[in-house]
Structures are given as structure tokens and as C-alpha cells.
Structure 1
């Protein structure tokens, strides 16, 4: 009798900006995950993303919500804009204006300006599949924002190299391993080395605080 085995959850490796740009800290997330990329409550601006099903890939879908009646959903094939009860689907390269948002798409990136935030969503290819990756290019000066895209650079120092690698983050010593990851936040993805640890050891707060239940 054959036993049906469920496929292992897809793993995604994310990395954090650090004071050592040549060796950032990185961590893994497994399974189908919706991530809080940027929440700006005072501006009623929310950006969330759904990771795709390609191992160590990027995002399948990114949603920007402005106020209570504006929603912009981006996937690799096009852009869906909802303004109140009106919904439109855009698959070409014509500029889109919706409320306070302006969207300009080219073959390899989508440039979105909403309020005083500018977000670039890069469209990359991996193993024949398209994936998305967001990068903030302009953010307001207020400090009440939350999300993975607005995390500050992590300051760490290497406290031990042998027999195990350990780094010190905020006075806490964390055991890490040498690993590799890909920086998709550029027009041309960049392969790089990183120090790998569990998310809860290197994020400023638990990983669960960066997860959302819906886009």
C-alpha cells in the first residue's frame, strides 16, 4: 500500500540590512505566508505581500491599500485597481492614476507613488517563473510605520568564529551559520553571502508580528 506524503513546505530566505552590507543577516520562512511589508496607520496606507510557491523565490502578489476605498493589487501579469465600487484590470504599459496613487509600469518594474511613499516592484524571472520583489525608494519621516520594508539596519558584531560562529545583537549573543541568499531588491538580482539564524533571533520583534491574515 502506497503512502501519500505531503510535499514539504516551500522555504523562502529573507535578509536584513546591516552595518556589514557584504554579510547581512538572513532567516527563513516556510509555507504559504502573507507578510506585512509596510503599515502606516496615520496615513491609512497598508502594503502586504503574498510569497510565491517557488523555493527562495519572491512574491506572487503585492497589495497596496490607501484609505478605506482604494486597493491596488499587483501580480506578474498585471495590475487590478479598485476605487470604491469601480474595479479595473490593467495589463499594458499605460500609466495608471487612481486617487492619490500614480502607477507606471515597464517590462521589468512597476513604479508606484502614493501619498509621500514611492515603491518599486521589480519583476524577475526564476526557473521560468515570474516573481515580484518590492523596494522602498521614498518614505515619509514619521516614525510610526511598521513592516519588513521599514526595518532599520541591524547593528551586530562578530564575537566568535570558531568552532561556532556567534554574533552579538543588542547585547545578546546569537549562533549563526554561513549561508547564501539573493538580493532581489535591484533591477538585476545579486547573489550574496549572509549569516543565517532563526527569524526570532535577529528580527526586532517576533516573526508573528510581521504576518497578516489577509492582503
Structure 2
């Protein structure tokens, strides 16, 4: 940097539509300590368009906000727009698959942690677009993203659409499919999640 040159800055108020949609969908996970009132005003301004979220049709999420479905049952994930009078267009569906099989969340040195010595420091996700443009996604269209043999495991979903000329994105929905009940069900619904060393 040349002396006296201004530092490059990103003006979030000028963020492109896709980034605004992502910020709004993840706003509950973003903490702003300085200028919090200004940040909330900006979110309210961006939030004037209809809102989107995903849900599994005719089902309820568990108390941890995860949607659980036995592998022997069919299901449909639906894109819900509020208010219901708004009609989504250009619908895109995405599956978020784990980028790393294991992560080392600790600050231990590589000679202390063994098999996670070279693991990523935190989970990350690949965003795979799904070939579906309707407001309802049958689970059969994402069956190949679960465990190939047992068709169980965990998968995160997101959708994006244009509503009233504005790009909107849903918060992430976590979908888990399981076999049997009790301990076996709890184990099989974990397939597809990364191992987090140091998570407690």
C-alpha cells in the first residue's frame, strides 16, 4: 500500500442482491457490536420484500429445529413464501454437503492430536444445485445425497427465488433421515456430518 492511500473498504449498503439475500437469511447468526442500531435499520430496509423459508410438508420439526424423517417414509420439502399471496419465480434449490470429513476445533499442536493433525479448523459446506425449479422438492430428488446403502444421514438445504423482483433466500433447513429407533436411529442420522474434534 502506498503511503497516504485510502484503505479499501466494502460498503455493505451497496451489496449485490445475492449477498443481501444471504445476509438476510443468516441474519440471526450475525453479531454486530459496533453500529448495531444502524445494522438493524439496514436489515429492516432490506427486509421489506416477502420472506422465504423451507419446511417438510405435513410434518413438524423436532425441538432442535431439525426435520427428521424415517427412511421408509416419503416426504416433500416445500418453499413457503410470506405473505402467501406473493408468488416465487426462478426457484433454485441447493444441498449443502460437508467439505471436510473431519475438523480440529482445538488449538492443540499437530503432534498432540494425531489423526486430525492436518484437519480443517472449522466445518465448511459445498453448495450443490439441485435440478428442480418447483416450489416443492420430492425427497427422491435428493436421495443420492444420503448414505448410498442405507439412504440415511444428515443434509442441509437452502432455496433461492425471485419474489416481486427481489432475490430472496431461505435460512438453512437441516434434514435427517434415520433407520429404526432409539440409539440406532440417533447414529444413522449422523451419517454425512463431519467429525468435530474438540466440540465437547
**TM-score interval, smaller chain:** under 0.3
> Per residue, is there more strand in 1 or in 2?
1
What is the TM-score when the length of structure 1 is the normalising length? Answer: 0.23
More relative contact order in 1 or in 2 (CA 8 Å, sep 6+)?
2
> Per residue, is there more helix in 1 or in 2?
2
What is the TM-score when the length of structure 2 is the normalising length? Answer: 0.24
